[in-house]
Amino acid sequence: MFGKSAKQMETIIGMESTVRGELAITGTVRIDGTIEGDLNADFVVVGESGRILGNIRSRGTVVGGRVEGNIDSSETVELKNSARVFGEIRTEKLVMSEGALFDGLSCMKQKAGEGAVPEGKIAHLKSLVSGGEE
């Protein structure tokens, strides 16, 4: 799923679970329930029944469910055919399967040393796309 550097699944939010607030998780998390708040983890998997109403910050993210918020992943974001993403995506690699729905802006990061890409919060993506004009 994420390559050799990914650890095994360490945290699972079940289908009938709802978590409210900011989550910081070391390792990999699978979301089959609902998170209302921001999520910070090494790797995030949003299952088909999963919903996140908040921002995701990770090394890698796979979405099969619904995300209403921004995704900032340093390595990769993959949108499965059942994915529904409403927000902005900032990542180095973006993969979208046929049937995935993405409504927002995307910004492709470059690896260190490959050019100047302004670092900062994903909320600044609109100014990057519009050339600094908001």
Q: Which residue has the higher pLDDT, 4 or 81?
A: 81
pTM for this predicted structure: 0.78
Per-residue pLDDT reduced to its tens digit, 22-63: 999 999 999 999 999 999 999 999 999 999 999 999 999 999
Mean pLDDT for all residues in the chain: 85
Residue % of the chain over a pLDDT of 70? 75
Q: Quick one: tokens of 127?
A: 């100014």
Strand stretches in 2-133, DSSP E: 9-13, 18-20, 23-31, 34-36, 39-46, 51-53, 56-63, 66-68, 71-79, 84-86, 89-91, 93-96, 101-103, 106-108
Tell me the range of 8-12, 91-95, 129-133 where mean pLDDT is highest. Answer: 91-95
User: How far apart, in Å, are the Cα atoms of 44 and each of 19, 23, 71?
Assistant: 15, 12, 10
What residue segments make up the domains of the chain, in order of their start? Answer: 9-129
